[in-house]
Amino acid sequence: MRNTHPSYALLVFVLLGLLPFLFQDPRALIILLAINIALIARLGWERSMMKAYVLVGGIGSCFAVITWLPFTNVGTPYWSSTIPLIHYPVQITDVGVLWALGMGLRLANVALLSMYYVFTTSPREIAMGLRGIGVPFSISYLLSLIFRFIPLVKNDLAIIREAQMVRGMSTSEGNVPERIRKYSYLLVPLIFNSLKRVQLIANALDAKGFRMRNSQHRFYRSKRWKKTEVIKLVAGICIVAALFYIARLHPDHIGVLIPGRI
């Protein structure tokens, strides 16, 4: 993906991210997750990204399963009750269990693809990819500035934390109210420092004549599309369209538990 057109890489991940929303059955979604993991492993990912994915994807998937499990009133019920005060009916059904597992696997797929794309793509390539699919230059450029701003904020937070540790403050000690109060000593200087940096960036953009609605703004150098990329992208769109027909339009609704839901 490093030597491909930025828009091609973006559209490939968009197409892969659409696939989990076509299916609801966890058996189909776990196959998609295995394919995505094999693809990401072949492309290569860092250990830090693996740890972040296990944390974000794992917790998010478990939360999705727990959230959806009692609120699917379709199928044979295993357990049923009502929420006190509001008397809202909740129940666990056979279809609800599969639906909840499917929602968790769907989130795991989307988190894997989105995290890999953000972790391995530079802000400039993200901006060029958005510009290549028709997003205005000003919007894509501002999004690239946001992605560039995140590491700076992270570095500032580390510096502020070290400065507070030199003064004898530790955010890992004390009860919950004390820790919240200590974190306020980190957030206040971080906010003011970020506002100062935003002002500097705004002045730099103004000095360069940057305007939000200026069609003459463009990148100094951009990659060209390759024929193989166009062919692969068209083939991918056809595959997604065929899977959409099989899952959503075909009378059997293969891989879909509740046809009326996304």
Tell me the mean pLDDT per 10 residues along the chain, length 262.
84 94 92 92 80 85 88 82 80 88 93 89 85 82 81 87 81 75 83 88 78 64 84 95 91 84 81
Distance CA 92, CA 99 (A): 11
- Domain assignment of residue 126, yes or no: no
- Give the pLDDT of residue 213: 65
- Domain assignment of residue 198, yes or no: yes
- Give the pLDDT of residue 1: 66
- Domain assignment of residue 210, yes or no: yes
Q: Based on the domain organization, do 115 and 44 belong to the same domain?
A: yes
Nearest CA to 10 out of 223, 238, 153 is that of: 223
Domain that holds residue 31: 1-121+226-262
Tokens of 255: 């891989």
- Domain assignment of residue 75, yes or no: yes
- Give the pLDDT of residue 78: 84
Element (H, E) at 259: none
Q: Based on the domain organization, do 1 and 91 belong to the same domain?
A: yes
Q: Which residue has tokens 């696997």?
A: 105
Q: Based on the domain organization, do 214 and 242 belong to the same domain?
A: no
- Domain assignment of residue 127, yes or no: no
Q: Based on the domain organization, do 182 and 215 belong to the same domain?
A: yes
- Give the pLDDT of residue 240: 94
- Domain assignment of residue 130, yes or no: no
Tokens of 260: 């009326």
Distance CA 257, CA 253 (A): 8
- Domain assignment of residue 59, yes or no: yes
Q: Based on the domain organization, do 216 and 145 belong to the same domain?
A: yes
Q: Which residue has tokens 């206040």?
A: 188
Helices (H), the chain: 6-22, 26-43, 47-68, 94-120, 123-132, 137-166, 176-207, 227-244
- Give the pLDDT of residue 123: 83
Total tally of structural domains belonging to the chain: 2
Distance CA 164, CA 158 (A): 10
- Give the pLDDT of residue 91: 85
Distance CA 52, CA 121 (A): 16
> DSSP code of 216?
T
Whether the CB-CB separation of 26 and 101 falls below 8 Å is answered with yes
Nearest CA to 14 out of 194, 177, 185, 233 is that of: 233
Name the residue type at position 216. Q
- Domain assignment of residue 42, yes or no: yes
Measured in whole angstroms, the distance separating CA 22 from the mean position of its chain's CA atoms is: 18
